[in-house]
Amino acid sequence: MKGIRFVLALALIAVTGTATAAVYTWKDASGRVHFSDTPPPNSDAKSVKGATGSSVAETEASQPVAKTWQEKEQESRQKKAEQAQADEKKKADQARAAEKERYCASLRKNIAMLERGGRVGSPNESGEFEFYTDEQMAAKAEQARAQLARDCK
């Protein structure tokens, strides 16, 4: 009984050792293909699928590389920095859009005021208020329309 157990243990050890071993293939000088667990010296032996169903190269490539906590922390900080930068850019874009809308609204208001007519003017160099003539009002309205068309599409 002890002999059978011993033989089974040896067989189990032998099978386990060959199940994980790599298998190599090569062609000899006469063109015959050979398979072995050790490649011959000075040959172009290639690793083939072993008893486990995957080659040694596939097994090593398929195992994920665990990241250290420092690498994870660095990635987290980088993502937070990128998110903060994106948020800052978004706020700046919104501020520019709001400023442009105020500018365009002001142009529209000025055009409406100039087209409405009446007494419209502005202060001169000495600070005195001067009223526009009808020709000046038409020219200022045309200038405002050109700015509106150019800047507020």
* 69-125 pLDDT, tens digit each: 999 999 999 999 999 999 999 999 999 999 999 999 999 999 998 888 788 888 889
pLDDT at 31: 81
pLDDT at 72: 92
- Range in 1-5, 98-102, 129-133 with the lowest mean pLDDT: 1-5
pLDDT at 51: 47
Task: Give the position of tokens 């208020």.
Answer: 129
pLDDT at 28: 80
pLDDT at 45: 74
Mean pLDDT, the chain, rounded, equals 81
